[in-house]
Structure 1
Amino acid sequence: MNDQVSQAGALALELKGISKSYNRGSAAQVDVLRGVDLALKPGEVVALVAPSGAGKSTLLHIAGLLDTPDEGSLCIGGQDVTGLGERARTGLRRSDVGFIYQFHHLLPEFTAAENIVLPQLANGASQKAARARAAELLDLVGLSARAGHRPAAMSGGEQQRVAFCRALANQPRVLLADEPTGNLDPGTSDQVFGVLMDLVRSSGLSALIATHNLDLAARMDRVLHLEDGAVAAAPQ
């Protein structure tokens, strides 16, 4: 975790007045996000519920430094990172932000363990430390016996659990997940989501998890709704 960007008592993630628009060909400008305000406390797990096309992926990409807002500011660990250059943004993504997507995006030519080792090596870890961390995470999700298997030899639920491990490999401050169980059948989805929540809780990191599944959303600390480009808390 990048201690250089932390401040005692700081929010893990804070977005203020985030706006984002796109021009789609000859069509009029599309305002995807309109002054979004959002904050995650350290250790908090928050659900982001939104209909398709509402802009949740855009919001997650901005929160994870994969995109830039037209207006507004982004803070991670108390530091305003809105205006960072691409090199600094890349370094911060490696150390402080973990990503999980609907599809696992594992590298098919590498084993489960190697998929978890590689991002650690890119972040400066030694081979020994990276392999030990991979083994620890695979054990936590019940996949120690699958460490040497490539993704094609694993089930969908197993692949996604490996993707969870990869996202947490560098001990990030914030986890961003976009429909992390959306590609699984309902039974597997519930089981795999339970694994994810156990990982998040045991790691003590903050998480913003986008989902259509209201039952899964109810298992998190708070539920936020993204509609018409703005975020609002779920009614009590």
Structure 2
Amino acid sequence: MSDPVLALNGITKTYAKDTANPVTVLQGVDLSIAAGEVVALVAPSGAGKSTLLHMAGLLDTPDGGTVTLNGQEMTGESDRRRTRARREDVGFIYQFHHLLPEFTALENVVLPQLANGVSKAQAQTRAADLLARVGVGERADHRPAALSGGEQQRVAFCRALANEPRLLLADEPTGNLDPGTSDQVFDALMALVRSTGMSALIATHNMELAARMDRVLRLEVGQLSAI
């Protein structure tokens, strides 16, 4: 059996450790995600799901435990090595799209590829293909302000997948949308993820969406449990 794409072992994290009221948000979290597996993460507000996603995506470092990505233990690696791993192996999606307003939809998906050394022609071809696959190909030359909320988030999905990461991390990716649009956009995201065979950890408050993934995990009182 191949190594998991992501493995967290004994992850702990406490904020304000040097004050009288430290807050421990992760208490020995263990998590393993296999290749091609899509896992839902549900949690009450303030339970630490964003912190957990930041640990998984190498945006933050744990106080204890290890983070292994694609078989490589990353916890003690240099900032340069961690940055390279984030750029090449991890895609991020947030509740708000964070698209660059001065660039078109196509350009927003092209830019991360250029930063990763892909030629402009190849980047444009891949960007156009991704946008078409999520139903916004005809909007490729529009800037974010001219797109609907659902279209903006679809473009954000494409940007996250532009460099063909092995792991997608999403924090409430449809939480900013109305229920009808949320369902449509989530369908587009799942189709894109399934077609690439990537792994994903998707945080959501929507239990109906969570139930459509391979597994559902709950983060509460600093620990993960299966639902």
TM-score (ref. length: structure 1):
0.94
1:6-25 equivalences under 5 Å are 9-23=2-16
1:114 and 2:107 aligned? yes
Residue 52 of structure 1, CA deviation: 0.4
Residue 79 of structure 1, CA deviation: 1.0
Residue 84 of structure 1, CA deviation: 1.1
Q: Using the alignment, how far apart are the partners of 2:87 and 2:182 within structure 1?
A: 27
1:24-43 equivalences under 5 Å are 26-43=19-36
Residue 67 of structure 1, CA deviation: 0.3
Amino acid across the alignment from 1:39: S
1:164 and 2:157 aligned? yes
Task: Name which of 169, 182, 189 aligns with 2:182.
Answer: 189
Amino acid across the alignment from 1:202: S
1:69 and 2:62 aligned? yes
1:211-222 equivalences under 5 Å are 211-222=204-215
Q: Which stretches in structure 2 are left out of the alignment for 5+ residues? A: none
Does the residue aligned with 1:31 lie in a helix, a strand or coil?
Answer: strand
Residue 26 of structure 1, CA deviation: 4.6
Q: Using the alignment, how far apart are the partners of 2:108 and 2:168 within structure 1?
A: 18
Task: Name which of 207, 219, 226 aligns with 2:219.
Answer: 226
What is aligned with 2:44?
A: 51
Spell out, residue by residue over 1:50-94, the C-alpha distance to the aligned partner (whole angstroms, 9 max, x if none).
Answer: 010000000000100000000000011111111111111111101
Task: Name which of 156, 166, 173 aligns with 2:166.
Answer: 173
Residue 27 of structure 1, CA deviation: 4.4
Alignment RMSD:
1.1
Amino acid across the alignment from 1:214: M
1:97 and 2:59 aligned? no
Does the residue aligned with 2:97 lie in a helix, a strand or coil?
Answer: coil
1:198 and 2:191 aligned? yes
What is aligned with 1:4?
A: none
TM-score (ref. length: structure 2):
0.98
What is aligned with 2:121?
A: 128
Identity of aligned residues (%): 70
Does the residue aligned with 1:32 lie in a helix, a strand or coil?
Answer: strand
Task: Name which of 147, 150, 157 aligns with 1:154.
Answer: 147
Q: Using the alignment, how far apart are the partners of 1:18 and 1:122 within structure 2?
A: 31
Does the residue aligned with 2:218 lie in a helix, a strand or coil?
Answer: strand
Task: Name which of 74, 79, 97 aligns with 1:81.
Answer: 74
Q: Using the alignment, how far apart are the partners of 1:12 and 1:205 within structure 2?
A: 9
1:144 and 2:131 aligned? no
Residue 142 of structure 1, CA deviation: 1.1
Aligned length: 227
Q: Using the alignment, how far apart are the partners of 1:175 and 1:117 within structure 2?
A: 18
Spell out, residue by residue over 1:105-145, the C-alpha distance to the aligned partner (whole angstroms, 9 max, x if none).
Answer: 00000000000000001111110111011011011011111
Does the residue aligned with 2:26 lie in a helix, a strand or coil?
Answer: strand
Amino acid across the alignment from 1:131: Q
Q: Using the alignment, how far apart are the partners of 2:138 and 2:193 within structure 1?
A: 22
Amino acid across the alignment from 1:206: S
Q: Which stretches in structure 1 are left out of the alignment for 5+ residues? A: 1-7
Amino acid across the alignment from 1:128: A
Residue 24 of structure 1, CA deviation: 7.6
Amino acid across the alignment from 2:53: L
Q: Using the alignment, how far apart are the partners of 1:91 and 1:51 within structure 2?
A: 32
